[in-house]
Amino acid sequence: MVNINTQSLGKAEEELDVLIVGGGFAGLYQLHRLRELGFNVRVFEAAPGLGGVWYWNCYPGARTDSAGIAYQFSDEKLWKDWDFSEAYPSGPEMRAYFEHVDQKLDLSRDIQFNTTVRSAEFDEDRRQWEVRTEDGAITRARFLVLCTGIGAKPHLPHIEGLEDFRGKYHHTAAWPQEGVDLTDKRVGVIGTGASGVQMAQSSAAVAAQLTVFQRTPNLALPMQQRVLDDAGKQAIKDTAADVYAMRAQTFGGTEYDFLGLASLEKTPEELREIYEKQWGLGGLRIWVGGFLDVLQDPKANRVMYDFWRDKVHARINDPAVAEKLAPAEPPHPFGAKRPSLEQNYFDVFNQDNVRLVDLREAPIQRATAKGLRTADGEEHELDVLVLATGFDAITGGLTAIDIRGTGGSLLREKWENGVEAHLGCATQGFPNMVFLGGPLSPAAFCNGPSCAELQGEEIVQMIAYLREKGITRFESTSQADSEWRALVDQIANTTLFPLADSWYMGANVPGKARQLLSFPGGVPVYLQQWSDQKAAGYSAFELS
């Protein structure tokens, strides 16, 4: 459709049908499928390797919180000769998986690594995006497909005096690729989200002293990790096709779905039995595979919280520490912040070399040459400080790029007071541009590879439709964008998500607009909306 110019990679102006930003699950799916359909397509990836978050988040102990059976592509030629060694794969194994995918699908030949996109500007006359990379090269593409994911931009809180600290400090998402030796070191971890929980587990095993700086307890759930023997690996293959078919039909694009709507219709004994069973199965099941009212009704939520709290208290020797990790009053409704999966997170606080500092009691005052000083006057001496402080999640990867749409308007300015985006994939003023796993899509509530494929396939189909009809420009409308946002808000307000200060709500980054940033209606409802759009010839978009 667009003239192909085969000049050397990125150095001169180059014209593509589709330019994809990001080489994680979503970007790779786009590359593979669009190439299959004959589009001239390329991926720009900032890292030297594949995997997106799995490349950057190489901190010790990183692993998936989704079972490997669902956390991979559904293409049989990829899974039939691939095995994870554990039910929940480690970071290094995820990286090996991406190499396997690359080898099977021959992806790298169309991926430009070490290429950070700085800006993108829509050229109305040519109906193309003009994309500039860090090295100054310009690439033109009819369609810009942004696959930057939910965790592309680390959140680094301001800590007074950090430059004075004589030890090393690293954010978990910018962990040195060569690793950091924590053996016999005094390690401090700020943050108790998924990254902090995993860092705490891995550091506690080797550090001379681990200090966990907790602002909000993590209502973490048992992973129930297990090593997969040959029979376990075969069982995964035997059920793979069914699992992949199921992903489009379950709320979170996972291998299970909610058990029912109303936990409170069960007797306490029945409910306990169900929760015990789910606890034993492990994973996020008890959260997005339990009862819907737990996420909607404060009473049902409290029953769940109390069940969780009893379990945690039973594992911690010191009642005062137990109370900080699992307080009598919930810090927020259960599940309104993303629960992490833990293996021995709570147990490490029984070790002599592990200490919990409650930042609600004594906030961090400043960094010193030796460590961190808290408001109670104590100086916590450290050799390594780990910033497990999360991300400017969901929107950060997009707003970090200077994206200028019609009339030179900047995406980051447009979204300053909140995001409006039709189907969570496109927004008025930014023609021929889509984002995957972005704001107002199911992203945060959807198993990554599932939505990379399910939302991704909708995007592929739409681009193919445009080509078939000879349409060279599409744009969302203000009306479609605001109606979609209203739908997200309306569903959100039936849930308890807005009650927590989470990254789901944009509340973890000071100054960021507060709104539920992911579509909370579940994958099937989301896909139905796409299907309606498709049937109507994508009529909510302006096509020309």
Residue 64 found at the interface with ligand N01 (CB under 6 A):
yes
The residue (of 24 and 431) whose beta carbon lies closer to ligand N01 is 24
Residue from 215, 309, 380, 512 binding ligand N01 (CB under 6 A): 215
CB atoms within 10 A of CB 485: 20
Residue that the structure tokens 């997200």 belong to: 488
- Could you tell me the smallest distance in angstroms from the CB atom of residue 160 to ligand N01? 11
State how far the Cα of 201 lies from the Cα of 61, in Å rounded to an integer. 7
State how far the Cα of 514 lies from the Cα of 499, in Å rounded to an integer. 11
Residue 60 found at the interface with ligand N01 (CB under 6 A):
no
Residue 52 found at the interface with ligand N01 (CB under 6 A):
no
Residue span binding ligand N01 (CB under 6 A) among the ranges 25-33, 57-65, 129-137, 177-185: 57-65
Residue 503 found at the interface with ligand N01 (CB under 6 A):
yes
- Could you tell me the smallest distance in angstroms from the CB atom of residue 361 to ligand N01? 13
State how far the Cα of 172 lies from the Cα of 154, in Å rounded to an integer. 8
Residue 194 found at the interface with ligand N01 (CB under 6 A):
yes
State how far the Cα of 354 lies from the Cα of 318, in Å rounded to an integer. 12
Alpha-helix residue ranges (DSSP H) falling in 85-193? 91-105
Residue span binding ligand N01 (CB under 6 A) among the ranges 16-24, 93-101, 193-201, 450-458: 193-201
- Could you tell me the smallest distance in angstroms from the CB atom of residue 190 to ligand N01? 5
State how far the Cα of 213 lies from the Cα of 215, in Å rounded to an integer. 7
Residue 520 found at the interface with ligand N01 (CB under 6 A):
no
Residue 332 found at the interface with ligand N01 (CB under 6 A):
no
| Residue 214 phi, psi dihedral angles, 5° rounding | -105, 125
Residue 222 found at the interface with ligand N01 (CB under 6 A):
no
- Could you tell me the smallest distance in angstroms from the CB atom of residue 115 to ligand N01? 24
State how far the Cα of 254 lies from the Cα of 252, in Å rounded to an integer. 5
- 493 three-class SS: coil
Could you tell me how many residues make up the chain? Answer: 544
The residue (of 193 and 405) whose beta carbon lies closer to ligand N01 is 193
Residue from 390, 397, 442, 449 binding ligand N01 (CB under 6 A): 390
Question: According to the 3-state scheme, what is the secondary structure of 191-205?
Answer: CCCHHHHHHHHHHHC
The residue (of 122 and 435) whose beta carbon lies closer to ligand N01 is 435
| Residue 179 phi, psi dihedral angles, 5° rounding | 85, 170
Pairing of strands 384-387, 402-404: unpaired
- Could you tell me the smallest distance in angstroms from the CB atom of residue 138 to ligand N01? 33
State how far the Cα of 239 lies from the Cα of 409, in Å rounded to an integer. 49
Q: Name the residue with the smallest CB distance to ligand N01.
A: 193
Residue 193 found at the interface with ligand N01 (CB under 6 A):
yes
Residue 216 found at the interface with ligand N01 (CB under 6 A):
yes
The residue (of 148 and 428) whose beta carbon lies closer to ligand N01 is 148
* Window 71-110: contact mask with ligand N01 (x via CB under 6 A): ----------------------------------------
Alpha-helix residue ranges (DSSP H) falling in 138-246? 194-204, 230-246
Residue 68 found at the interface with ligand N01 (CB under 6 A):
no
The residue (of 69 and 303) whose beta carbon lies closer to ligand N01 is 69
User: Total binding residues for ligand N01 by CB under 6 A?
Assistant: 24
- Binding to ligand N01 (CB under 6 A): which residues in 124-183? 151, 157, 172
- Could you tell me the smallest distance in angstroms from the CB atom of residue 122 to ligand N01? 31
Residues 6+ apart with CB under 8 A from 16: 2, 4, 40, 41, 42, 139, 140, 141, 142
State how far the Cα of 403 lies from the Cα of 99, in Å rounded to an integer. 31
Q: Which tokens go with 346?
A: 């709570």
Cβ-based burial of 255 (10 A; exposed 0-12, middle 13-18, buried ≥19): buried
Residue from 190, 452, 462, 463 binding ligand N01 (CB under 6 A): 190
DSSP 288-337: HSSBGGGGT-HHHHHHHHHHHHHHHHTT-S-HHHHHHHS-SS-SS-TTSS
Residue 344 found at the interface with ligand N01 (CB under 6 A):
no
The residue (of 23 and 431) whose beta carbon lies closer to ligand N01 is 23
The gap between the terminal CA atoms of the chain, to the nearest Å, is 15
Residue from 112, 115, 128, 192 binding ligand N01 (CB under 6 A): 192
* Window 430-469: contact mask with ligand N01 (x via CB under 6 A): ----------------------------------------
Residue 195 found at the interface with ligand N01 (CB under 6 A):
yes
- Binding to ligand N01 (CB under 6 A): which residues in 354-373? 359
Residue 133 identity (one-letter amino acid) = T
C-alpha distances (whole Å) from 302 to each of 136, 332, 360, 497 are 55, 10, 22, 14
The answer to whether the CB of 254 falls within 8 A of the CB of 286 is no
Residue from 389, 441, 447, 472 binding ligand N01 (CB under 6 A): 389
Residue span binding ligand N01 (CB under 6 A) among the ranges 180-188, 384-392, 474-482, 529-537: 384-392
The residue (of 19 and 452) whose beta carbon lies closer to ligand N01 is 452
Residue from 14, 17, 65, 392 binding ligand N01 (CB under 6 A): 65
Residue 191 found at the interface with ligand N01 (CB under 6 A):
yes
Q: Strand locations in 414-538, DSSP E?
A: 433-435, 474-475
- Could you tell me the smallest distance in angstroms from the CB atom of residue 294 to ligand N01? 18
The residue (of 389 and 529) whose beta carbon lies closer to ligand N01 is 389
Helix axes of 25-36 and 91-105: crossing angle, nearest 10 degrees:
10
Binding residues for ligand N01, per CB under 6 A? 63-65, 151, 157, 172, 190-196, 198, 215-216, 338, 359, 388-391, 503, 508
